[in-house]
Amino acid sequence: MSLSLSKEETVERPSLAIGMFLLAMIVFTIMDGFSKYVTNGGLAPEVVTMLRYTIATAILLPVVIWRWEMRPLYTSQPLLHALRGLLLIGSATIFVYGLQSLPLETATAIGFVSPMFVTIFSIIFLSEKVGIRRWAAIVVGFSGVVAILRPGTDAFSPAMLLPILSSCCWAGGLIITRKMRGREKPFTVLIWTTVIGLLFVTPLGISSWHMPTLEQWIALLAIACCHMMGQILTIRAFMLGSASMLAPFSYTTIIWATLIGFFAFGSLPDFYTGVGTTILAAAGLYVWHRERIRQTVLTTPGASISAIKSKLHDAKK
């Protein structure tokens, strides 16, 4: 897979973008499973994240040297890169903290709120249009989060708030990725994100250092590889498709999280988590459905301007 930015990557390619994003979700869920494994073994979340970014940097370094003549570090948007790196390292560390106390499938289900944040942020920062129906779907989606959290009951744990905060950071990072579309090479984005994240998390990791076992080192290597592959796929996907179109497909992670949770950790989602997840997924899919209608109207061949305006008005609702 080429990491450079080609002319074709500035054009919308929804099917390819969706395929890449779906694969990224599988890779990221596998990474989360390994992260839960090593934290269950006693490693602090900040140590796990530090080593994940350290190994990723070590893997990237020979590629950077090899492609040095192509100026892989050059960017005209260093502040955006720095902000993206901080948001994603924050999302990763906070989520791993959540995995210490929560089952993988529960943390993943709560993290389903991220597409809602992506849609809201796309309105604020990307000026994407979202009508009343999609706003209603977002409200319904947040009700699904409440069903999972069950605040005020014995089932609620403060740790459940961590995946929500992580999702907010993750959504911010995705919006910045979309904002860079057509202006940055995917490899450049990956390098900056990795280096900024490493610089930020290293002091935290050193302060909580504990030497991993051989099995944990193997798991950490898998985490770093999954991190890099997932980042590349996500970066390319968001440069080929809109944020609001891609975001709902992150719901597929519940399938892989449930399977990993059951076979690796012997856990399954409870009834309320299942209900909340279903509500979140349904709301997110509706948001995607409305976006698909809007895109279809805008690309309808042979339609008159007045007809397109009329249909577009309905599609924005």
Q: In this model, does residue 175 exceed pLDDT 60?
A: yes
Question: CA-to-CA distance for 94 and 166, rounded, in angstroms?
Answer: 6
User: What pLDDT sits at residue 316?
Assistant: 52
User: What pLDDT sits at residue 73?
Assistant: 84
pLDDT digits (tens, 9 = 90+) for 112-128: 888 788 888 888 888 87
Q: What does the mean pLDDT of the chain come to?
A: 84
For the record, the structure tokens of 212 come out as 């991993």
Question: CA-to-CA distance for 296 and 118, rounded, in angstroms?
Answer: 21
> Residue 184 carries which DSSP code?
S
User: What pLDDT sits at residue 163?
Assistant: 95
Mean pLDDT on 139-162:
91
With 0-12 CB in 10 A as exposed, 13-18 as middle and 19+ as buried, what is 244? buried
User: Cα 307 to chain center, whole Å?
Assistant: 37
pLDDT digits (tens, 9 = 90+) for 250-309: 778 888 999 999 999 999 888 989 999 899 888 877 776 766 676 655 444 444 444 444
In percent, the amount of the chain with pLDDT more than 70 equals 86
| AA letter at 45 | P
> Residue 155 carries which DSSP code?
T
What does the chain come to in residues?
A: 317
User: Which three-class secondary structure string do you get for 19-82?
Assistant: HHHHHHHHHHHHHHHHHHHHHHCCCCHHHHHHHHHHHHHHHHHHHHHHCHHHCCCCCCCHHHHH
Mean pLDDT on 129-139:
80
User: Cα 288 to chain center, whole Å?
Assistant: 16
CB 48 within 8 A of CB 223: yes
Question: CA-to-CA distance for 62 and 294, rounded, in angstroms?
Answer: 44
pLDDT digits (tens, 9 = 90+) for 205-222: 999 998 999 999 999 999
Question: CA-to-CA distance for 280 and 140, rounded, in angstroms?
Answer: 7
Q: In this model, does residue 244 exceed pLDDT 70?
A: no
CB 294 within 8 A of CB 316: yes
Q: In this model, does residue 6 exceed pLDDT 80?
A: no
Question: CA-to-CA distance for 125 and 121, rounded, in angstroms?
Answer: 6
Task: Break the chain into its structural domains and give their ranges.
Answer: 10-315
Closest CA to 281 of 172, 148, 157, 150: 148
Question: CA-to-CA distance for 313 and 294, rounded, in angstroms?
Answer: 9
User: What pLDDT sits at residue 82?
Assistant: 92
For the record, the structure tokens of 198 come out as 């490493």
User: What pLDDT sits at residue 76?
Assistant: 83
- Determine which of 65-69, 104-108, 216-220 has the lowest per-residue pLDDT on average: 65-69
pLDDT digits (tens, 9 = 90+) for 155-171: 899 999 999 999 999 89
Which residues have C-beta within 8 Å of that of residue 32, sequence separation ≥ 6? 95, 99, 104, 107, 108, 257, 260
For the record, the structure tokens of 144 come out as 């699904």
Q: In this model, does residue 204 exceed pLDDT 50?
A: yes
User: What pLDDT sits at residue 22?
Assistant: 92
Question: CA-to-CA distance for 8 and 281, rounded, in angstroms?
Answer: 32
Q: In this model, does residue 99 exceed pLDDT 60?
A: yes
How confident is residue 89, by pLDDT bands cut at 50, 70 and 90? Answer: very high
Q: In this model, does residue 59 exceed pLDDT 60?
A: yes
